[in-house]
Amino acid sequence: IDPTLDLFDEIERLKREKNAIVLAHYYQEPDIQDIADYIGDSLGLAQQAEKTDADIIVFAGVHFMAETAKILNPNKKVLLPDLNAGCSLSDSCPPPLFKAFKEKHPDHIVISYINCSAGIKALSDIICTSSNARQIVESLPLDQKIIFAPDKNLGGYINKVTGRNMLLWNGACMVHEIFSLEKITRLKERHPEAKLIAHPECEEAVLRIADFIGSTTQLLKFSETDEAQSFIVATETGILHQMQKNAPDKTFIAAPPDNACACNDCPHMKLNTLEKLYLCMKYELPEITMEEQLRVAAKRPIDKMLELSR
């Protein structure tokens, strides 16, 4: 790329010329968040993808998110700046293994967290995100047997708050499992005025000491509206950009990972860069494609979620 090009201007030009919309997750790098037409959590992004009338959806997020946009929009072009932007949580649940697990429990219905492949979605009855998981589980009768996949931490948290006993797939997110309880506890002691806010993908020990638990959007809203002036944030660091933008006078401290070499940046989310975003819009590549039979099967449980979340 010509180093004198103003990528912000170029991306805006390509958006206009191609009737393209850029959807970005809060975990994207700040420049991408600033150029996006919509920034949101997984639920917000799926809802935007459902209602957009753009011809091209450029998804600044990870593969399962772009795949969800394609499932909802078979006739639109869906682009992902880096096709390698995967997800450790999604990878922890391969469809053939999950299919065998499901077959062992034929009296259970399957609720899957949206952080899974189209193959897992096609094996599911309802999709949920961290914003609506509780509401979706509570919409089912108390005696309904449920398999929850793939995140054992979110599933365990929902079991706890709803009093259910869902069968959990043993998957987890590499970013949210990295926090050190010991270091967070020490940090809380040094900042007794700070509230600990955590994403439900974190381990139970961290959630137990959190002052507020919520999806990315819920954490953002809480940090803006709560009376506290400082927050220890136990989720991916990308969200700090919006938190600081929305409440410039408040202090946000990223919760510490368990060792100095680790970090709570998602290596998959951070594969996307402004340069790759520009190139993918220019060349309309890489594109998400999907076999129609799989798309239709994966769409049913997403539609169910969107219906329940209106």
Tell whether residue 124 is among the known ligand binding residues: no
68 contacts ligand 13P (rule: CB under 6 A): no
Q: Which of residues 269-288 bind ligand SF4 (CB under 6 A)?
A: 269
Tell whether residue 199 is among the known ligand binding residues: yes
268 binds, among ligand SF4, ligand 13P, none (CB under 5 to 8 A by kind): ligand SF4
Q: Nearer Cβ to ligand 13P, position 52 or 88? A: 88
DSSP sequence for 85-154: ---HHHHTS-HHHHHHHHHT-TT-EEEEESSS-HHHHHT-SEEE-TTTHHHHHHTS-TT--EEEESBHHH
Tell whether residue 266 is among the known ligand binding residues: yes
88 binds, among ligand 13P, ligand SF4, none (CB under 5 to 8 A by kind): ligand SF4
Q: Identify the residue among 11, 21, 32, 62 touching ligand SF4 (CB under 6 A).
A: 62
Strands 109-113 and 77-79: unpaired
Of 265, 278, 284, 280, the closest CA to residue 31 belongs to 278
Rounded-to-integer distance, Cα 145 and Cα 242, Å: 39
Tell whether residue 74 is among the known ligand binding residues: no
87 contacts ligand SF4 (rule: CB under 6 A): yes
Tell whether residue 200 is among the known ligand binding residues: yes
Q: Nearer Cβ to ligand SF4, position 15 or 27? A: 27
Per-residue mark of binding to ligand 13P, 113-132 (x: CB under 6 A): --x-------------xxx-
Rounded-to-integer distance, Cα 308 and Cα 310, Å: 6
Sequence-ordered alpha helix ranges (H) in the chain: 7-18, 30-35, 42-51, 63-72, 88-91, 95-103, 118-122, 133-138, 152-162, 181-190, 204-208, 216-225, 239-246, 274-283, 292-308
Strands 212-213 and 195-198: parallel
Q: Which of residues 88-147 bind ligand SF4 (CB under 6 A)?
A: 88-89, 115
Q: Identify the residue among 41, 67, 82, 203 touching ligand 13P (CB under 6 A).
A: 41
**Tokens 């680790």 sit on residue:** 262
42 binds, among ligand 13P, ligand SF4, none (CB under 5 to 8 A by kind): ligand 13P
User: Where does this chain bind ligand 13P (CB under 6 A)?
Assistant: 41-42, 115, 129-131, 173, 201, 215-216
Residue numbers in the known binding site for [4Fe-4S] cluster are 87, 173, 266
User: Where does this chain bind ligand SF4 (CB under 6 A)?
Assistant: 27, 62, 87-89, 115, 173-175, 236, 266, 268-269
